[in-house]
Amino acid sequence: VRSYHQTDSARKSFLSLQTNIKSAQENLRVQQLSFKEGETTATFVNDALTALNLAYTEQATAAYRYDLALATLLTLTGQAQQFQNYLNHPALINVRHGASSQLHRLPRQD
């Protein structure tokens, strides 16, 4: 039962971090527009970029915790061989791929 709750908690944590990512993406968008208009400095853009990358990192960490908890749960229930099937599920791959690959770069200061 404990392993199930850990897996469920890790899954919920992962999913809840999507809100943080969306907020950080919007903040970066606003800061970049403000920078282009000369209304803010590169420091604010950099801070927004750092916050977005931190949100991605937190979600990647949550994905790792979920994978670890799921592997433990499946092992304890004698279904360890099913782990790869869970990892190959298209919905999981899309979410994880997005969390790990969308690191943004600071705009150039020409």
Rounded CA-CA distance 72/4 in Å is: 9
The Cα-based distances of 93 to 84, 98, 104 in angstroms read: 12, 8, 20
Per-residue confidence (pLDDT) for residue 105, from 0 to 100: 42
Instruction: Give the separation between CA 68 and CA 54, rounded to whole angstroms.
Output: 21
pLDDT of residue 90: 62
Per-block mean pLDDT, blocks of 10 residues, the chain (110 long):
85 87 96 96 96 91 87 91 78 50 43
What pLDDT was estimated at residue 49?
Answer: 94
Enter the DSSP assignment of 63: H
Show me where the domains of the chain are located.
2-101
CA dihedral 82, 85, 87, 92 (to 10 degrees): -130
